[in-house]
Structure 1
């Protein structure tokens, strides 16, 4: 089985391996940017070891908004890519 799907693993060529590596790098980058953004917006002081209720609430909202925005951007990007393909979303067949 593949890590990314429930389908049986097929022979993976260099292209599929590179695509998987690129996907992992992109997800890591997304996570790091989200952490940096939400930390700078929500964490005012670091005098205590635990987050305050207000900080936890802010982080929850920030992460939700960040991921929602990324989802919208991703779906719009897919729509644009599909509309640019020859013969519409079905491709050249």
Structure 2
């Protein structure tokens, strides 16, 4: 019997596969939202197939800002989780 939550090896593999699939779906959803938000905010001239230099710069800044925000949110969530865990251990 596997030590992880009392699951068998087959159950553990199935759980890991589901978690991996869910993480990929979450990542793709975040990527799609970022693309949609940046496109909507930056692209407004549809008279050319190519992006203008202004649109290209705007999208680049938007993507960088979104990724930096996601990174900072992840860091804050981790800090909050650690604080909460420490408080629970002290009780």
Q: Secondary structure, in 3 states, of the residue corresponding to 1:50?
A: coil
Question: Which runs of 5 or more structure 1 residues have no equivalent in the other structure?
Answer: 1-10, 89-93
Shift of 1:84: 1.8
In structure 2, how many angstroms separate the alpha carbons of the residues matched to 1:24 and 1:57? 28
TM-align CA RMSD: 1.7
Aligned length: 78
* 1:12-53, Cα deviation, whole Å (9 max, x unpaired): 612211111111011001101101110011001211000011
- Matched with 2:55 is 55
Question: Which runs of 5 or more structure 2 residues have no equivalent in the other structure?
Answer: 1-9
- Matched with 1:33 is 33
In structure 2, how many angstroms separate the alpha carbons of the residues matched to 1:84 and 1:28? 29
Of 79-88 and 56-65, deviating more is 79-88
Structure with greater Cα Rg: 2
Equivalent residue runs for 1:1-93 within 5 Å: 13-85=13-85, 86-87=88-89
TM-score normalised to structure 2 length? 0.78
Of 79-88 and 45-54, deviating more is 79-88
